Structure 1
């Protein structure tokens, strides 16, 4: 690479990293103490956000350099990481400050073993650091007064405020209300009015284990509804989420490379399609049920039918890499919708519509198949064990409903 071009690339990468450091720090302040730039964030507030951004970016960086150093070990032409900043705090919208990071592999990988090594190294490297952060986060929880500083209204309900509030969601009271001067009943009514739109993070196996076995007994252990106020634990949780997302055993995701390495091209194609179908099935489960049909009036029938049409289009888009023929995509979408409709209606179960975005991303853009290789030698026993460890990490880290907006 030309020296000037290389310098320019390095400056772009450094600039993206520094920008992402700023945006994730802003996001950390917004999540943990509820301060936005447009709503009175101070310099001290901003500095507090480093308690989230530093551990989160450390995990992300270790993940990407796991890929990078493994690729370099195999003499694959690869770039340093490109970080992707993303922040909407200027309009009061909460974000995590980034869309992640990526490295560019600038040549074809022709070996099954190399694909496996590069794919598995990132998630496992990042997971080890995220696990350490989770352990530290639970074992160093602040005193219970910390949550009262953020939510003074909770103190009126006592130490077991979450149980006494009957599981109500987090509410930031209006600035002109003083919780200390409010009666229990008035405070309860005020909290009731703020339930809609509140946010909680869905649990996974690891976070549940951490709450049970790592947290001190004499301090408040944050539930999924209060996790956002604990920056190190929030960073670990989000790292688990992205680790699980990367390890989905589908297509060309890191988990897809693991799947390809473990089972070969033919079996990868079968398993990847089965996993994608299960993922898509869960994502859209409950989009439309018989209850919606019963509650639809003649006046709202048009909107009801439009809702179904939009969903069928989403299913159709999601299968672009699954079927080449448009007719097969349409049949697949229709069959998927029909089964989802009856399963959700009969068993009263719902999936997580947020996964539909990733279904489109995987099914239409990333693809459910894996590139072929010239060197198809099977994995060594050590690599096979590592591959199964990666799949176990996926199960431990995966959250069926990672982000829930209540009342919507």
Structure 2
């Protein structure tokens, strides 16, 4: 016991606190800025007072997103600490607002484990703790967003031009960004039945709905059962190296099938505009070309295999039950078509 306490104190003492605090502070600034953008506020740069006033409009977005990211990463950190693995505090990754990108203010946060995983139990506990903790926050944000919607005319404070056309355009104008629904979103919509729920072409203007949705999206990406992602750790710990390989390959095939129709359609439109690809509209609507990029990243950059731990042993009891809970969370969070343009 004394040795455990000594190791944990050593891990806490060796952290680079100034760097972690600086990165968090910059990320807070960039997410406030992004939140102001998503809620329709122009950030004025001609004075410090106006700049601060404008970015504070993004407080709900920044707090929701950073709460999710911090909870996810500290879930990993404390699980690793419990197994006496030398690991860092979360490094938050700020991204300045860029007009040509989908500006979220951050690329997330990461921790670094500085040693090889000692065993399957440590691998599982560390891998599963982040997604489950983060999902709890994402679910809470969505639930709060569904039950505390602003009045229906809130959207006119962001798009006053809609008043001239009689409301939110239906169908929306070509080139309008929309977000896809995951299963959790569909279930909350069916159970709560909110009267002022915005369409998915406007949902990103509602900070609690948007950050809850983003939390689910990031949770699902982390739980992809491939390589050394959190989901890959869970698959390896639950089903061994062979089971992990089958799950990884099967999922790569799935996302390629999800992405291929819209990818081929986009390529044909770009290179052969006079020769349209005749695919049913439903097939295109249920496809996202980004999955092709993800398949390449997973296969070529991150890798689909999982290295063994120092002590591979089968999981039993509560850990296996928790593993199945993580699989349910993945199913609830996964969005087949996360982004798109009308």
Give the TM-score normalised by the residue count of structure 2: 0.86
SS in 1 for 2:39: helix
- Cα offsets for 1:153-209 (capped at 9, x unmatched): 334565xx44xx4321xxxxxxxxxxxxxxxxxxxxxxxxxx233211111111122
Q: Distance in 2 between matches of 1:206 and 1:37?
A: 37
Q: Show the counterpart of 2:192.
A: 214
Q: Distance in 2 between matches of 1:138 and 1:99?
A: 26
2:27 to 9, 20, 24: 20
1:279 equivalenced with 2:287 (yes/no): no
Q: Show the counterpart of 1:269.
A: 245
Q: Distance in 2 between matches of 1:403 and 1:349?
A: 15
Q: Show the counterpart of 1:173.
A: none
The CA deviation at 1:346 is 7.8
The CA deviation at 1:86 is 1.0
Q: How many residues align?
A: 327
Q: Show the counterpart of 1:147.
A: 155
Q: Show the counterpart of 2:97.
A: 88
* Structure 1: runs of 5+ lacking an equivalent: 169-194, 305-340
Contact preservation (8 Å) 1:29, 1:35 = yes
Name the larger-Rg structure: 1
Q: Show the counterpart of 1:128.
A: 136
For residues 7-86 of structure 1, what are the structure 2 equivalents within 5 Å? 9-37=16-44, 42-86=51-95
The CA deviation at 1:109 is 0.5
SS in 1 for 2:178: strand
Q: Distance in 2 between matches of 1:72 and 1:254?
A: 17
Q: 1:145 to 1:292 in 2, by over 3 A?
A: closer
Q: Distance in 1 between matches of 2:223 and 2:250?
A: 15
The CA deviation at 1:8 is 8.5
How well do the aligned residues superpose, as a CA RMSD in angstroms? 3.0
Q: 1:39 to 1:360 in 2, by over 3 A?
A: farther
Q: Show the counterpart of 1:196.
A: 174
1:104 equivalenced with 2:115 (yes/no): no
Q: Show the counterpart of 1:386.
A: 322
Give the TM-score normalised by the residue count of structure 1: 0.73
The CA deviation at 1:268 is 1.1
Q: 1:292 to 1:46 in 2, by over 3 A?
A: closer
Q: 1:213 to 1:98 in 2, by over 3 A?
A: same
SS in 1 for 2:306: coil
The CA deviation at 1:277 is 2.1
Contact preservation (8 Å) 1:31, 1:229 = yes
